[in-house]
């Protein structure tokens, strides 16, 4: 007899509100959703993306790494596509949002149930994905190929283990000698990186300290030890700000047979030394939903998500009052 409303943050959350607004409007007019693509990224603002990965953490580094172990599923041209976690980042491709942003996208876990939740059985393609700045997926894929997502306990990575070096720790993971030359050779063999990409990724690994004599911040296993290193090297510094980039893309067929391409885009920037864009876009819709439940304006009972019009139609104007805005663009084809 209680209300448990899930998926009312950013992604999932705001993405649902605005996707369903477009979808239900098209359906009400007798139209069909042919293709739907939704990409969202919590990123550093471009001027703050000043490290080899083009990324800083506005949420858990461990959560970012764990997400890379998940199998992804989506619909493409009427067929279900499955990508194993180990190959997830290899599927990353350039995503055109705005010309100023060089971003790549890859699928985010299992998109297929959402086609049902959104009531778009007619959709030939349906994908929910993650955005990163150009080059990040290839770098992270190399870390995956090297074995850094392994969370098997390791005695030498226990918090009370004797001091070691990152170079020795990395060499053990790769099964090679603890020299920079041997490590680089092993990384190349495991990942297949070459040319400019090889040079860029090896430089990035050295920037992280993986070839160094520094004692790693031990996390008990390789995944958590890497997470602690990423957090120490890639946190936001004083005066920096984050950015949220969310874009839906719809290919639509109207009742009269005419075609449209619709984009819904949200760009939010955090406040330097203040509220992050991530905190704002997750916290505000969640807080407003709580208030609507307390005020008796959402009375549904059970374990819910904001897919019903009477839920998201109340939320959209209220989050916009707090400065969260999605801009729609419609192009007749």
What per-residue confidence (pLDDT) applies to 325? 94
Q: pLDDT digit string (tens) for 160-171? A: 999 999 999 999
What per-residue confidence (pLDDT) applies to 215? 96
**pLDDT higher than 90, residue 152:** yes
**Mean pLDDT (whole number) for 178-185:** 98
DSSP E strands, 45-143 = 72-76, 79-83, 93-95, 103-107, 125-133
Q: Please indicate whether residue 322 is annotated as part of the active site.
A: no
Q: pLDDT digit string (tens) for 233-270? A: 999 999 999 999 999 999 999 999 999 999 999 999 99
Domain boundary among 204, 233, 262: 233
The reply to whether 172 and 321 lie within a common domain is: no
**pLDDT higher than 90, residue 59:** no
Q: pLDDT digit string (tens) for 207-228? A: 999 999 999 999 999 999 999 9
Residues in the chain: 333
Q: pLDDT digit string (tens) for 134-147? A: 999 999 999 999 99
Q: What is the pTM of this model?
A: 0.93
Instruction: Verify cis geometry, omega within 30 degrees of 0, for the bond prior to 12.
Output: yes
Domain that holds residue 128: 3-133+238-332
- DSSP, residue by residue, 230-277: HHHHSBPPTT--EEEEEEEEEEEE-TTS-EEEEEEEEEEEPPTTS--H
Query: Does a structural domain hold residue 142?
Result: no
The reply to whether 201 and 321 lie within a common domain is: no
The reply to whether 220 and 274 lie within a common domain is: no
- Work out whether the CA dihedral 164, 170, 176, 180 comes out positive or negative: negative
CATH of the domain at 119: 3.30.360.10
Query: Does a structural domain hold residue 143?
Result: no
Q: pLDDT digit string (tens) for 281-301? A: 999 999 999 999 999 999 999
**pLDDT higher than 80, residue 58:** no
What per-residue confidence (pLDDT) applies to 57? 84
Q: Do the beta carbons of residue 179 and residue 24 sit within 8 Å?
A: no
Domain boundary among 199, 233, 267: 233
What per-residue confidence (pLDDT) applies to 60? 82
The reply to whether 254 and 303 lie within a common domain is: yes
Whole-number Cα distances in Å, 313 to 14, 96, 128, 155: 12, 29, 22, 53
Domain boundary among 168, 202, 233: 233
Annotated catalytic residue within 11, 15, 224, 251: 11
Secondary structure element (H or E) that encloses residue 103, with its range = strand 103-107
d(CA 34, CA 78): 10
- Work out whether the CA dihedral 51, 54, 57, 58 comes out positive or negative: positive
d(CA 105, CA 120): 22
Q: pLDDT digit string (tens) for 109-137? A: 999 999 999 999 999 999 999 999 999 99
What per-residue confidence (pLDDT) applies to 32? 98
CATH of the domain at 228: 1.10.1870.10
Indicate the pLDDT class of residue 64, thresholds 50, 70 and 90: confident
Number of domains in the chain: 2
Q: pLDDT digit string (tens) for 82-94? A: 999 999 999 999 9
The reply to whether 54 and 196 lie within a common domain is: no
Indicate the pLDDT class of residue 3, thresholds 50, 70 and 90: very high
């Amino acid at each position: 007899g209680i209300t448990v409303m899930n998926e009312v943050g950013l992604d999932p959350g705001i993405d649902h509100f605005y996707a369903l607004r477009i979808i239900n409007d098209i359906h009400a007019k007798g139209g069909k959703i042919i293709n739907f693509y939704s990409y969202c990224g919590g990123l550093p603002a471009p001027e703050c993306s000043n490290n080899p990965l083009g990324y800083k953490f506005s949420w858990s580094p461990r959560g970012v790494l764990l997400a890379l172990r998940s199998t992804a599923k989506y619909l493409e041209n009427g067929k279900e596509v499955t990508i194993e976690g180990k190959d997830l980042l290899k599927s990353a491709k350039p995503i055109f949002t705005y010309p100023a942003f060089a971003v790549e996208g890859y699928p985010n876990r299992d998109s297929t149930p959402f086609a049902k939740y959104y009531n778009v059985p007619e959709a030939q393609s349906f994908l929910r994905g993650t955005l990163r700045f150009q080059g990040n997926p290839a770098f992270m894929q190399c870390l995956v190929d090297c074995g850094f997502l392994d969370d098997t306990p390791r005695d030498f990575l226990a918090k009370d283990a004797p001091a070691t070096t990152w170079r020795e720790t990395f060499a053990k993971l790769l099964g090679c000698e603890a020299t920079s030359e041997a490590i680089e050779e092993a990384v190349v063999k495991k990942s297949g990186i070459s040319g400019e990409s090889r040079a860029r990724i090896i430089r990035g690994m050295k920037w992280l300290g993986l070839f160094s004599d520094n004692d790693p911040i031990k996390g008990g296993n390789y995944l958590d030890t890497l997470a602690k290193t990423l957090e120490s090297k890639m946190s936001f510094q004083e005066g920096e700000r984050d950015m949220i980039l969310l874009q839906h893309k719809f290919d639509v067929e109207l009742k009269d047979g005419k075609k449209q391409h619709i984009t819904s885009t949200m760009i939010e920037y955090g406040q330097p030394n203040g509220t992050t864009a991530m905190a704002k876009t997750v916290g505000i819709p969640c807080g407003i939903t709580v208030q609507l439940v307390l005020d008796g304006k959402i009375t549904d009972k059970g374990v819910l998500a904001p897919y019903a019009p009477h839920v998201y139609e109340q939320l959209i104007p209220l989050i916009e009052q707090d400065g969260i805005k999605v801009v729609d663009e419609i192009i007749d084809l």
